[in-house]
Amino acid sequence: MTNKEYANFLLPNVEHDWSYYEEKYPKRDLKEGAIVSRYAPSPTGLPHIGNIYQSFISYSFCKQTNGIFFLRIEDTDGKRTIENGIQAILDTIKPFNIEFNEGPISQTEAKGNYGPYIQSERKDIYQAYAKKLIEEDKAYPCFYTQEEMDQIREYQSHKKQRIGIYKKYAKYRDLSKEEAIEKINNNEKYIIRLKSPGDFENKVILHDLIKGDIELPENDIDEVIIKSDGLPTYAFAHAIDDHLMHTTHVIRGDEWVSSYPVHEQLFKVLGFQVPKYAHIAPITVKEGETVRKLSKRKDPEATISYYYEKGIPNEVIKLYLATIVNFDFEEWYTNNTDKSINDFNFEFSKMPIGGTAFDLEKLMSISRTYFSRLKNTELFDMLDKYTLEYDKEFNSIINEDKEYSLNILNIERDVERPRKDIASLEEVKKYFWYMYPSLFDKNTEEYMEVKKCDKQIVLDYINNIYDEKDDQETWFNKVKEYACLNGYTSDKKEYKENPDKFIGMVSDFCALLRVIIVKKNQSPNIYYLIKYLGKNELLKRIELFYK
Name the site residues for ligand GLU (rule: CB under 6 A).
Answer: 40-42, 74, 238, 250, 252-253
Q: Which is nearer to ligand GLU, 173 or 292 (CB)?
A: 292
Nearest-approach distance from CB 404 to ligand GLU, in angstroms:
50
Q: Which is nearer to ligand GLU, 46 or 459 (CB)?
A: 46
Nearest-approach distance from CB 297 to ligand GLU, in angstroms:
16
Alpha-carbon dihedral sign for residues 531, 533, 537, 541: negative
Alpha-carbon distance 527 to 411, whole Å? 10
Longest dimension (CA), the chain: 114
Nearest-approach distance from CB 251 to ligand GLU, in angstroms:
7
Alpha-carbon distance 86 to 47, whole Å? 10
Nearest-approach distance from CB 74 to ligand GLU, in angstroms:
4
Q: Which is nearer to ligand GLU, 70 or 371 (CB)?
A: 70
- CB-CB contact of 249 with 59 (8 Å): no
**Helices and strands counted in the chain (H then E):** 24, 16
Nearest-approach distance from CB 210 to ligand GLU, in angstroms:
14
DSSP state of 1: -
> Which string of DSSP letters, residue by residue, matches 469-493?
T--HHHHHHHHHHHHHHTTEES-HH
Q: Which is nearer to ligand GLU, 250 or 281 (CB)?
A: 250
Alpha-carbon distance 360 to 6, whole Å? 58
Q: Which is nearer to ligand GLU, 45 or 352 (CB)?
A: 45
> Which string of DSSP letters, residue by residue, matches 303-342?
SHHHHHHHT--HHHHHHHHHHHH-TTHHHHHHH-TT--GG
Residue nearest to ligand GLU (CB): 252
Alpha-carbon distance 130 to 140, whole Å? 9
Q: Which is nearer to ligand GLU, 259 or 486 (CB)?
A: 259
- CB-CB contact of 374 with 303 (8 Å): no
Nearest-approach distance from CB 360 to ligand GLU, in angstroms:
25
For residue 23, how many C-alpha atoms fall within 13 Å in the half-sphere facing its CB?
Answer: 5
Alpha-carbon distance 227 to 232, whole Å? 6
Nearest-approach distance from CB 262 to ligand GLU, in angstroms:
13
Q: Which is nearer to ligand GLU, 211 or 238 (CB)?
A: 238
Nearest-approach distance from CB 241 to ligand GLU, in angstroms:
9
Q: Which is nearer to ligand GLU, 260 or 394 (CB)?
A: 260
Beta bridge partners of 36: 68
- CB-CB contact of 486 with 480 (8 Å): no
Nearest-approach distance from CB 42 to ligand GLU, in angstroms:
5
3-class secondary-structure state, position 261 = helix
CA nearest neighbour of 283 among 294, 270, 299 = 294
Alpha-carbon distance 385 to 391, whole Å? 10
Q: Which is nearer to ligand GLU, 214 or 453 (CB)?
A: 214
- CB-CB contact of 270 with 133 (8 Å): yes
Q: Which is nearer to ligand GLU, 193 or 252 (CB)?
A: 252
3-class secondary-structure state, position 106 = coil
Nearest-approach distance from CB 240 to ligand GLU, in angstroms:
12
